[in-house]
Structures are given as C-alpha cells and as structure tokens.
C-alpha cells in the first residue's frame, strides 16, 4: 500500500503484457465472428485448432482483459468517490471497512487477469512444442525417403551401366571377329599383279 492508502499492483508486468497482447490483437485480423468457449474445451479440441483459431482465442482473451481493465478503472473511480465521502464523513474505521470491498474486487480482477495470461502462455508454449516435434518428425521422414530414393537410383544406374558395358563388349568382340575375317580373306586373295599375299 502507498502512503495515501491505495494498493500498488505489479504495474510494469501488467502494462507490458497488455501492450504485447494489444499489439497482437491489432496486427492479426479476425478470422471468424464466433466466440470461442475455451473454459470447457478438451485438450484434443485445443490440438485440433489451427493458428488462426488460436489467434482468435487470444483475441477473445484480450477482449476480456480490456473489459477487466475498464472494470478496474471504474473501481478506481469508485474508490476516489469513496475517499471523498470518507473525508467528509470523518469516520475512518467505517470508511476503511467499506473500501476493503473495493480493494478486494480490484485485487481479484488483477489476479484473474494474471491467471488468464499464465494460461495463455502455457497453451502457446505447448502448441510451439507440438509444432516443433511435428516438423522434426517430418524432416526425418523426408530424409529417410530421400536416402531410399538415392539408393534405388544408384542401383538402377549401376544395372544400366552393366548392361551397356556388356553390350559394348559384345559389339567389340563381334567387330574384332569381323576384322579378323576380313584380314584373313584379304590375305588369301591374290594381289593385282597375280601374286598371293
């Protein structure tokens, strides 16, 4: 509590979180007009949501945060009014009892806000881990398929090379036989001057 009787909240933490969520809600466009009911959704239903739907849920939570912030400001205005009444009434003990309800309401609103932010952060981290593990599995599957395809292509290329080499050896053997036959025939035929070579 401060000297004038007001309760201090963790304002830097609340402001930073509010600014971050506020930016997220303005940077992303609304993907659907339905209101997400996250309080009774199961884990399976959360896992089936896509990124746009998760952003919509965050947007809905931001709307709740804005509403709670407005309520908090309204409570602070009521507190200021009660302070004025307290100074005019003069009964400090009675006024303190009335103001405790106001402080309790503000404290409850702040705690509810922090709990919602913690839940959103945990859900977001779980979604990140799930997406990363899926990406890793997909990467390993693609690498394995690529390796198998490489082995298959190499085996096919090796088989084709062996067939080509065997065909060229046969052609060369046939050509060698033909050349030998031509040479033998040439050696057995008489030359132009009538002599046998």
- 0.85 surpassed by pTM: no
Q: pLDDT digits over 112-167, tens only? A: 999 999 999 999 999 999 999 999 999 999 999 999 999 999 999 999 899 999 99
| Residue spans per domain, the chain | 11-147
d(Cα 157, Cα 183) in Å, to the nearest integer? 38
Tell me which of 4-18, 46-60, 106-120, 183-197 is least confident: 4-18
pLDDT tens-place string over residues 51-76: 898 899 889 999 999 999 999 999 99
pLDDT for res 145? 92
C-alpha–C-alpha distance, residues 39 and 50, integer Å: 18
* DSSP states along 130-170: HHHHHHHHHHHHHHHHHHHHHHHHHHHHHHHHHHHHHHHHH
Q: Residue 124 in contact with residue 21, Cβ under 8 Å?
A: no
Query: At residue 16, does pLDDT exceed 50?
Result: no
Q: Which of 1-15, 77-91, 109-123 has the lowest average pLDDT?
A: 1-15
């Amino acid at each position: 509590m401060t000297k004038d009787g007001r309760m201090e909240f963790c304002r830097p933490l609340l402001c930073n979180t509010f600014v971050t969520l506020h930016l997220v809600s303005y940077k992303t466009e609304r993907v659907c007009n339905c209101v997400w009911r996250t309080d009774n959704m199961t884990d399976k239903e959360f896992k089936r949501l896509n990124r746009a739907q998760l952003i919509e849920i965050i947007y809905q939570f931001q709307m709740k945060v804005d509403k709670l912030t407005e309520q908090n400001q309204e409570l602070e205005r009521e507190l200021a009014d009660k302070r004025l009444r307290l100074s005019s009434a003069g009964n400090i003990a009675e006024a303190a009892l009335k103001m405790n309800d106001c402080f309790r309401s503000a404290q409850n609103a702040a705690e509810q806000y922090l709990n919602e932010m913690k839940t959103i952060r945990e859900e977001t981290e779980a979604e990140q881990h799930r997406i990363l593990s899926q990406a890793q599995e997909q990467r390993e599957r693609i690498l394995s398929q690529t390796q198998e395809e490489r082995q298959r292509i190499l085996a096919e290329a090796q088989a084709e090379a062996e067939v080509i080499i065997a065909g060229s050896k046969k052609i060369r053997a046939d050509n060698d036989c033909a050349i030998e036959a031509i040479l033998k025939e040439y050696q057995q035929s008489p030359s132009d001057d009538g002599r046998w070579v």
